[in-house]
Amino acid sequence: MSRVGKSPVALPDKVEAKVSGTKVSVKGPKGQIEKTFGAGVTIALEGKNLVVKPNSEERKTRALWGTARAIIKNMVKGVSDGFIRELEFNGVGYKAVVAGNIVTLNLGYSHPINFTLPAGVTAKVNKNVIELHGCDRELLGFVASKIRSFREPEPYKGKGVKYMEETIIRKAGKTGAKK
């Protein structure tokens, strides 16, 4: 039995959900998200709760049961509260500018990187921190990892783009070997 899958997902007052087969649509003040789940689970709307049940007792189906419930919970939280992902960039001359849905990054290359944000994701820059806001957690994580991939943090000086909660394990340079 899935401990995660057993509990229903409660819908807040401002959130509406529609279920048609394995397709779930959630609408709230921050936006609207639609996802289609596999045939291994059955999703039902019971009052103000979304309930996920497995179709069989196979191991794979039980794994999908908990995963589907967690994704639905993230959908409901996203359209009611939204998600924030913060990236920090460190380095001499590194900077970021947001103009509409384009983030321009200067990360030590000979050219600036222009990254177009997908629909549903917005960005703000405060000094050396990029704040990404959105209602779809999966899309937000994808955009954050894409921006991080332009200049991943290096272990010697710590230069690069990193997640705010990430810690970089620093290495001693050439002088660390001489003793």
93 domain-assigned:
yes
pLDDT of res. 149: 96
Q: Is the pLDDT of residue 177 over 70?
A: no
Half-sphere exposure of 10 (CA within 13 A, CB side): 2
- Taking residue 53's Cβ as centre, other Cβ atoms within 10 Å add up to 13
Read off the pLDDT band of 59 (50, 70, 90). Answer: confident
Q: Is 110 exposed, middle or buried (0-12, 13-18, 19+ CB in 10 A)?
A: exposed
Q: Running DSSP on this structure, what letter comes out for residue 12?
A: P
179 domain-assigned:
no
Pair 64, 38: CB distance under 8 Å: yes
Q: Is 106 exposed, middle or buried (0-12, 13-18, 19+ CB in 10 A)?
A: middle
For residue 69, give the 3-state DSSP assignment.
helix
Task: Tell me how far apart the alpha carbons of residues 105 and 96 are, in angstroms, rounded to a whole number.
Answer: 5
Q: Is the pLDDT of residue 20 over 70?
A: yes
Average pLDDT over residues 32-37: 94
**Does residue 58 sit in the same domain as residue 76?**
yes
171 domain-assigned:
no
Average pLDDT over residues 13-36: 93
Closest among 105, 118, 117, 119 to 161, alpha carbons compared: 105
Domain count, the chain: 2
Q: Is 149 exposed, middle or buried (0-12, 13-18, 19+ CB in 10 A)?
A: exposed
**Does residue 92 sit in the same domain as residue 71?**
no
**Does residue 89 sit in the same domain as residue 156?**
yes
Q: Is 179 or 73 the better-scoring residue by pLDDT?
A: 73
Helix, strand, coil shares, percent, the chain, to 5: 25, 40, 40
178 domain-assigned:
no
Q: Which domain holds residue 17?
A: 3-80
Each residue's pLDDT tens digit, 75-128: 999 999 999 999 999 999 999 999 999 999 999 999 999 999 999 999 999 999
Tokens read off for 141 = 């994580």
The CATH number of the domain where 108 resides is what? Answer: 3.90.930.12
